[in-house]
Structure 1
Amino acid sequence: MKFPGEAGLERLRRTYPKGTKVRLLAMDDIQAPPAGTKGEVRGVDDAGSILVSWENGSSLSLIPGVDAFEIKEE
């Protein structure tokens, strides 16, 4: 995984602020929530991972450019 620079981190934090609703489309991880699971962004860490609280209780982070997800429109 390539780590984003300061500008990339700022862009991610503006795009996915705390409270943003997301829906998982695909994640290649044995512990991944099922596709379609909804979650709420808790923040973006310094490595550029999007921290998510998933509706099924998982807290597995999203990796932009690796995992497939979308912002859930209310």
Structure 2
Amino acid sequence: MKRPSKERLERLRRAFQPGMRVRLVRMEDVQAPPAGTCGTVLFVDDLGSIHIAWDTGGNLAALDGEDMVERLSGDSGNA
């Protein structure tokens, strides 16, 4: 996986802050919760992966550039 630029990483961390609520739009992973599942952002790591505690009980990161989550605070974001 390619590391995001410093600017991209800063934008992701501003857009997906710990405690923010999100909804899964798309994730290509056999362990992914169903689309539409909500969760709470835990943190964004140095690779730009958004770590999320899903309401279904699991923790699985959304990968920047591959998966898509939307912020429930009004604006949507791609990750």
Alignment TM-score, normalising by the size of structure 1: 0.90
* Counterparts of residues 26-41 of structure 1 (less than 5 Å): 26-41=26-41
Q: Which residue of 2 aligns with 1:48?
A: 48
Which stretches of structure 1, 4 residues or more, deviate above 2 A after TM superposition? none
CA RMSD of aligned residues (A): 1.3
Gaps of 5+ in 1: none
Gaps of 5+ in 2: 75-79
Where is the strand percentage greater, Structure 1 or Structure 2? 2
Identity %: 49
Q: Which residue of 1 aligns with 2:19?
A: 19
Could you list the per-position Cα deviations for residues 13-72 of structure 1 after superposition, in whole angstroms to 9, with x for gaps in the alignment? 011111111000111110000111100001100111001000011111001221122111
Alignment TM-score, normalising by the size of structure 2: 0.85
How many pairs align? 74
Q: Which moved more, 1:33-42 or 1:2-11?
A: 2-11
